[in-house]
Amino acid sequence: MKKEPVNIDKQDTVISIRGLYKSFDELDVLKGMDLDLYKGENVVVLGRSGAGKSVLIKLIAGLLKPDSGTIKVAGEEVDKLNAKELQELRLKIGFLYQGSALYDSMTVKQNLEFPLVRNKPNLSRKEIDEEINEVLKHVRLEDSGNKMPSELSGGQKKRVGLARTLILRPDIMLYDEPTAGLDPVTSGDIITLINEGQKKYKTSSVIITHDLTCAKATGDRMALIQDGKFNREGSFVEVFAEGDEEARKFYDYNFIVDT
């Protein structure tokens, strides 16, 4: 599966990271990381376990504070925002967690309604229903609105999680291992939805994955974390084909036959 090219506006940087450092006690995780995400672009962040991928997206979402360096998201320096400003910025960011984090005691529709009503309290009943139906249709679950999460498969839960994120129309999507634990066919469905969402909702995304099929199929650009920095960046071929030893190992482990 190859990524179809999309329109990317390189004059418009939605995330700009410069000289980012983050340590936990003695452990230096990010060591001077730089990254740009352009409007309309999907950037895939790759790296070994423990390389700092989740730490990076938590820093972008303002869930962690950097030790030094700057993170600008939608023009705002995340680190400098007060609680209210951060809350407003977070409305522009959709975070798809590894676990779908649905409310088990609510139906699918209620799971979608909850964040919508909380963040957009002035919507009418009709508007709420329209929004719910629209995102459910997008993730191809229009017939499952009245189901409980326990009645859904892992892939369906992931799709509800995606719908719940998209219902707030984020400008930026942060995907944490979107295909982890899914079979190849279900992974393919999620990959399709990531790409359709990019086009339909004009999102710009950071996608963390170990799954090189997902990386190749969703990423307009790859960035590989090595020793706390993005040492290799570019197209899939640029990052892997002429790869250094470590990039090659990463690639070989994933065992893609079709390059």
Q: Which residues bind ligand ATP (CB under 6 A)?
A: 24, 27, 29, 47, 49-55
DSSP state of 28: E
Q: Which is nearer to ligand ATP, 55 or 71 (CB)?
A: 55
The answer to whether the beta carbons of residues 211 and 175 sit under 8 Å apart is: no
Q: Which two tokens stand for residue 240?
A: 């892997």
Query: Phi and psi dihedrals of 175, rounded to 5?
Result: -105, 120
Residue closer to ligand ATP (CB basis): 113 or 176: 176
Q: What are the start-end ranges of the E strands in 63-141?
A: 68-73, 76-77, 93-96
User: Minimum distance from CB of 58 to ligand ATP (Å)?
Assistant: 8
Least distance (Å) between residue 26 CB and ligand ATP: 10
| φ/ψ bin of 52: left (φ > 0), alpha (ψ from -120 to 50), beta (otherwise) | left
Please, are residues 58 and 6 in contact by the beta-carbon 8 Å criterion?
no
Find the shortest distance in angstroms from Cβ 54 to ligand ATP.
3
β partners of residue 18: 70
Find the shortest distance in angstroms from Cβ 178 to ligand ATP: 13
Question: Is 20 or 135 the residue whose CB approaches ligand ATP more closely?
Answer: 20
Amino acid at 208: I
Closest approach of ligand ATP to the CB of residue 67, in Å: 13
CB closer to ligand ATP out of 52 and 145: 52
What is the dihedral sign for C-alpha 147, 151, 153, 157?
positive
CB of 231 to ligand ATP, least distance (A): 15
- 52 vs 94, beta carbon nearer ligand ATP: 52
Q: Which is nearer to ligand ATP, 54 or 203 (CB)?
A: 54
Q: Is residue 136 within 8 Å of residue 163, measured between CB atoms?
A: yes
